[in-house]
Amino acid sequence: MDTRVSETKEAKRIPQRVLIGKVGLDGHDRGAKYVAHILRDGGYEVIYTGIRRTPKQIVETAIQEDVAVIGLSLLSGAHKRLLQQVMDLLKERDASDIVVIAGGSIPSADIPDLKAMGIAEVFRPGVSSQSILETFASLVKARRPAA
Amino acid sequence: MAEGDCGPSGPLEPARKDWETHVLAPALKRVPESNRPFKTGSGEPLEALYLPEPTSEARYLERVGFPGQYPFTRGIQPTMYRGRLWTMRQYAGFGTAEETNRRYQYLLQQGSTGLSVAFDLPTQIGYDSDDPLVSGEVGRVGVAVSTLRDMERLFRDIPVGRVSTSMTINSTAAILLAMYLVIAEQQGVPLQLLAGTIQNDMLKEYIARGTYRFPPQPSLRLTRDLFVYCTKFLPKWNSISVSGFHMREAGATAAQEIGFTLANAICYLDLAVNAGLDIDAFAPRLTFFFTAQSDLFEEIAKFRAARRLYGRLLKDRFHAKDPKSMMLRFHTQTSGVTLTAQQPENNVVRVAIQALAAVLGGTQSLHTNCRDEALALPSEDSVRLALRTQQVLAYESGAANTIDPLGGSYLIESLTDRLEAEAEQYIRDIEQCGGMVQAIEQGYVQRHIEEAAYEYGQSLETGARVIVGVNRFREEHEPEPAIFLVPEDTEKKQIDEIRLVKKSRSEQKVQASLDAVERTAHTDDNLMPVILESVRAYATTGEICQRLEQVFGEYEPIVS
């Protein structure tokens, strides 16, 4: 089945749901809100959690809302610990099929560790909307057969 | 504008027409203007050339005037930097109190003239380092201060009677100020000599910065208690730093930065007046905090416009009598959001331009960002270069030699007028919402900021706005710069430290003082004295906040 949003009538009727959120104590939400906006424009149904959510709240919301992707923005330097908690909770709740993407001030040296814990993609500063949309589309598409 | 009279019937208008027809038109035929958008950083259209207004000296005296005199457009002091340079105040803090203390000692040795404390997020929101809720965040974006013991280590060998200290602290401002006051006591410094600032601006936390803990009403009660306490006991202390910085950095335009910040100031001034404080006793200790972004002229005009508009507000609306009450004093930090992770060395140039804007705009103190701050906390080398940038501006550039050097520039005066008018419109719109608290609850301010941020982002994507190294002049293979790493053992050290403090303090005293905090929170009495007692007994930041939360509740944000 073709899951490319905005390209088939079916996909337009049932837009893909994604969660964009801020986990931890950091309140810098300019990037997260921008990404939520371009995803909405790109045809996704976006659940935006707002700032200062705990890993547990993120995972609960993701499961309740049945999202395909969780996109988390982190600028405080606490990304490793917080993302590990999100991944562990997803596993615990048997929801590891949800794709997790991270973005923000994340040093490139940390990316291999994040990928190893199962983060599908890490967006660093300067990434274009187009590239974000393409990444979401391909990750959603790749996920579908396994789900 | 200061050039003198040139009324509509003067020689300027025919001369301009002549120039347009005989000089400009043929030139445009040969080389037309490029099609890049000529706009300010906030997207306002710019003319090719600005000319004297058909104006008079009377208008100059009314709108621009002299430095140190109402409406303070040209600066708040009659001498500006010819008398004393701005305070070079670098925001710093990370890891444990010892590590940050070493950074402060270093900054002071290198010629910093004031301190500015960055607390970590748990401290700012009122959680101790050993709270499982904050695991991973301890010491990350600032120093962790859970008890008076941490504060003692933070200011070891720093004479608080001689250095002015600014603390970026909001929800927990009363607690951290109380700790600082005990440090002053320990060093034998009388409170009336203590100079410094607490940010204490909760409204912008709900709008943009996000370190809230309690709902707006009890938060404003704490703000009020601090106003009353500081006005009474700390005559040299700024009891609030009303901050436009974070709203602008979150996406607001320059006019919105002024408008939203002054609308917040109105709310705080009302709060002080309603608490029975005399406007001329309170207003002189209210201070401001703005960003300086990269559009040099728009930023200079922004500072001038903010000064004039604030002067008018205090005089006309709050009926201040003392000129000191009408002076908008401000700290500036160069812009974080304009720094790029790509080609980070370019940030050195951005910071220099932004710092120049702050100086030409008449700032009272300045923080210059470091080249590597889009990547991580800054290294010691970057911190030194940032400070040196200020020193070059101060001692080599000549920018400090003349008061308001760009005053009278047709462009600057025109931008100043326009920004002032637009900012005033935002203030009126917020009044239409019923005031700032209502405007925040209705999402009015947040919506405007989000829309401006989206437009900015889109202008980068289309290339209408150029950021060097990001959407033009990119380099394919950039070497990864070395970044500063916050020591990984901070959290463990902090947890051990809290355990030690809890072992050595009198539990009975702590509980009694915390009971007093909770009791007082139920009344309308000032919370500062009981918080001071708790802090003295080595109660933790988290314990005090927990008691306050029992009474005040926790803020649940509106998500749009």
Backbone angles phi, psi at B308, to 5 degrees: -70, -45
Structural domains counted in chain B: 1
Q: Of B556, B531, B463, nearest to B225 (Cα)?
A: B531
B342 — contact with chain A (CB < 8 Å)? yes
| Residue B451, C-beta contacts closer than 8 angstroms, at least 6 positions apart | B251
What is the distance between the alpha carbons of residues B327 and B438, in angstroms, rounded to a whole number?
27
Could you say which of B141, B250, B340 has the minimum Cβ distance to residue A76? B141
CA distance linking residue B98 with residue B95, whole number of Å: 8
Q: Tell whether B301 is within 8 A of chain A (Cβ).
A: no
Give ipTM to 2 decimals: 0.88
Can you tell me the distance from the alpha carbon of B15 to that of B64, in angstroms, rounded to the nearest whole number?
26
By C-alpha distance, which of B128, B200, B117 is closest to B158? B117
Inter-chain touch B209–A34, beta carbons under 8 Å: no
Interchain CB contacts (distance < 8 Å): A and B: 84
Structure confidence by residue, pLDDT tens digits, B44-103: 899 988 888 766 788 888 899 999 999 999 999 999 999 999 999 999 999 999 999 999
Q: Best interface-test mutation with B: which of A20, A28, A46, A131 has the largest number of B CBs within 10 A?
A: A28
Residue B199: inside a domain: yes
**What is residue A4's predicted lDDT score, i.e. its pLDDT?**
47
Torsion angle in degrees (nearest 10) through CA of B513, B515, B519, B525: 10
- Give, in order, the Cα–Cα distances in Å from A121 to each of A52, A111, A145, B462, B499: 22, 9, 19, 24, 39
B443 burial level (CB within 10 Å; 0-12, 13-18, 19+): middle
Any CB–CB contact under 8 A between B479 and chain A? no
Q: Give the closest of A25, A30, A80 to B251, CB-based.
A: A30
Alpha helices in B187-215 (DSSP H): 203-204
Q: Which of B454, B468, B489, B560 to mutate to test the interface with A (most CBs of A within 10 A)?
A: B454
B334 lies in a domain? yes
Q: Are B124 and B145 in contact (CB under 8 A)?
A: no
Residues of A with CB under 8 A from a CB of B: 24-30, 33-34, 37-38, 48-52, 54, 76-78, 80-82, 105, 107-109, 124-126, 128-130
Residue B197, both tokens: 């600032």
CA dihedral A31, A32, A35, A39 (to 10 degrees): -170
Question: Which residue segment(s) compose the domain that B410 sits in?
Answer: 66-462
Helix, strand or coil for residue B89? strand
Q: What is the DSSP string of B476-530?
A: SSPPPPP-----TTHHHHHHHHHHHHHHHS-HHHHHHHHHHHHHHHHSSS-SHHH
For chain A, give every domain's residue range: 9-142
> Is B494 part of a structural domain of the chain?
no
**If you compute the radius of gyration of chain B from its CA atoms, what whole number of angstroms results?**
25
Could you tell me which residues are beta bridge partners of residue B242? B288
Task: Report residues of chain A scoring pLDDT below 70.
Answer: 1-14, 144-147
Closest CA to A68 of A43, A88, A97: A97
- The enclosing domain of B259 has a CATH number of 3.20.20.240
Structure-block tokens of residue B519: 């009791």
Looking at CA atoms only, how far is residue A91 from chain B in angstroms?
20
DSSP A94: T
Q: What confidence score (pLDDT) does residue B330 get?
A: 98
Hey, is the C-beta of B339 within 8 angstroms of any chain A C-beta?
Answer: no
Structure tokens at B410: 């047709």
Measure the CA angle with vertex B236, ends B233 and B240; round to 5°: 85
By CA distance, what is B138's nearest residue in A? A78
In a domain, B513, yes or no: no
B240's enclosing H/E stretch is: strand B240-243
Question: Which residues in chain B are closer than 8 Å to A25, comparing Cβ atoms?
Answer: 121-122, 124-125, 134, 137, 211
For residue B370, which of B359, B385, B392 has the smallest C-alpha distance?
Answer: B385
Other beta carbons less than 10 A from residue A87's beta carbon: 18
Cα A98 from Cα B124, distance rounded (Å): 33
Per-residue pLDDT 10s for chain B (560 aa) are 334 444 456 788 888 899 999 999 999 999 899 888 899 989 989 998 888 876 678 888 889 999 999 999 999 999 999 999 999 999 999 999 999 999 999 999 999 889 999 999 999 999 999 999 999 999 999 999 999 999 999 999 999 999 999 999 999 999 999 999 999 999 999 999 999 999 999 999 999 999 999 999 999 999 999 999 999 999 999 999 999 999 999 999 999 999 999 999 999 999 999 999 999 999 999 999 999 999 999 999 999 999 999 999 999 999 999 999 999 999 999 999 999 999 999 999 999 999 999 999 999 999 999 999 998 889 989 999 999 999 999 999 999 999 999 999 999 999 999 999 999 999 999 999 999 999 999 999 999 999 999 999 999 999 999 999 999 999 988 887 888 888 889 999 999 999 999 999 999 999 999 999 999 999 999 999 999 999 999 999 999 999 999 999 999 887 76
Residue contact B136–A78, C-beta within 8 A: yes
Rounded Cα–Cα distance for residues B521 and B402 (Å): 51
Looking at the complex, report in whole angstroms how far the Cα of residue B471 sits from the nearest Cα belonging to chain A: 8
Q: Is residue B72 a contact partner of residue B432, using CB atoms and an 8 Å limit?
A: no
Query: In Å, how far is A1's CA from the nearest CA of chain B?
Result: 31
Distance from CA of A139 to the nearest CA of B (A): 23
Determine phi and psi for B49, rounding to 5 degrees: -150, 140
* Residues of chain B found within 8 Å of residue A53, distances taken between Cβ atoms: none
**Residue B238 β-bridge partners:** B197
Compare CB distances from B121 to A25, A54, A109 and report the shortest one's residue: A25
Pick the CATH number of A9-142 from 3.40.50.280, 3.30.360.10, 3.20.20.330, 3.20.20.70: 3.40.50.280
Which of B420, B448, B422 lies closest to B433 in space, CA to CA? B448
Query: Whole-model pTM?
Result: 0.93
